[in-house]
Amino acid sequence: MTSLNGHGPIITAAGLAEALAGPRPPVLLDIRYRLGGPHGRPEYDAGHLPGAVFVDLDAELAAPPGDGGRHPLPDPAVFGAAMRRAGVSAGSSVVVYDGSQGWAAARAWWLLRWAGHRDVRVLDGGLAEWTGPLETVTPAPAEGDFTPEPGALPLLGADGAAELARSGLLLDARAGERYRGEVEPIDAVAGHIPGAVSAPTGENLDERGRFLPAARLAERFAGLGARPGGEVGVYCGSGVSAAQQAVALELAGFVPVLYAGSWSEWSRDAARPVATGAERG
């Protein structure tokens, strides 16, 4: 496959069109998904990028809900099988996309990177930015050979998240009202991890849903307390939208550290402290 590596975590629609027209186009993964909404497969069947394979976030990019939260990390064997089914090999270039804010696509991006596949990028702005043709034919790519080797990206558990919130910087990627504990539409407890800083994912994007320029993202995260070259932890409700924040952090030059269990894991344990209000707590 044509290598996309070395060009950052995102690709524009124009850049993708150029890559697809080349002699060795990237593998395309369609990760359309809505939290609590209808399954993304019907949208995929109605029209997707030519050659794209649908990947089910709940079934293939997450383990079943439980003590680890609503979207625990998948079993590497399950994830690896899904990627091979989609045609992903160790030497493949991969482009992932979804239909909205990049949350689901970023989850696939982060998992591939965490599992040792470096040549993967998110379509900036998602399907809405694509002006080329769509197709309804379900492709049958040749089986890939990708075997996950987890650990290529840093990862936090609950204890590590608590420590980073005290000693460094832990960003809460959820909407501000959920951080403050004013509402909680999904999980049983409202509030945030004590010491975490509110950093809603919507502020990473422009009005068209594309990532802000790297310099603006760097200013945003610096204003939240990030320091050049430092690791920055990030969590959300269940580890999906936080992956979009991880993309933004990497664009800005920081090392993102994901707390995959996120609030849905943290809030399941009544012994863990909960902060509310606008302050870090």
pLDDT tens digits, one per residue of 150-167: 999 999 999 999 999 999
pLDDT for 186 equals 93
Higher pLDDT, 30 or 100: 30
Q: How confident is residue 274, by pLDDT bands cut at 50, 70 and 90?
A: very high
Which residue carries 């307390």 as its tokens? Answer: 225
Query: For 10, how many CA atoms within 13 A lie in the half-sphere containing its CB?
Result: 29
Q: Indicate if the pLDDT at residue 145 is higher than 70.
A: yes
236 part of the active site: yes
Q: Which domains does the chain have, with CATH numbers?
A: 10-129 (3.40.250.10), 155-266 (3.40.250.10)
Indicate the angle between helix axes 241-251 and 214-223, nearest 10 degrees: 110
pLDDT for 7 equals 67
Which residue carries 């802000």 as its tokens? Answer: 212
Q: How confident is residue 80, by pLDDT bands cut at 50, 70 and 90?
A: very high
For residue 24, the one-letter residue type is: R
Query: pLDDT tens-digit profile of 16-60?
Result: 999 999 988 999 999 999 877 778 999 999 999 999 999 999 999
Average pLDDT of 85-89? Answer: 98
Query: For 267, how many CA atoms within 13 A lie in the half-sphere containing its CB?
Result: 23
Out of 96, 218, 236, 258, the active site residue is 236
pLDDT more than 70, % of the chain: 98
Q: Indicate if the pLDDT at residue 229 is higher than 90.
A: no
Asked if 104 and 240 count as a contact pair (C-beta separation under 8 A), the reply is yes
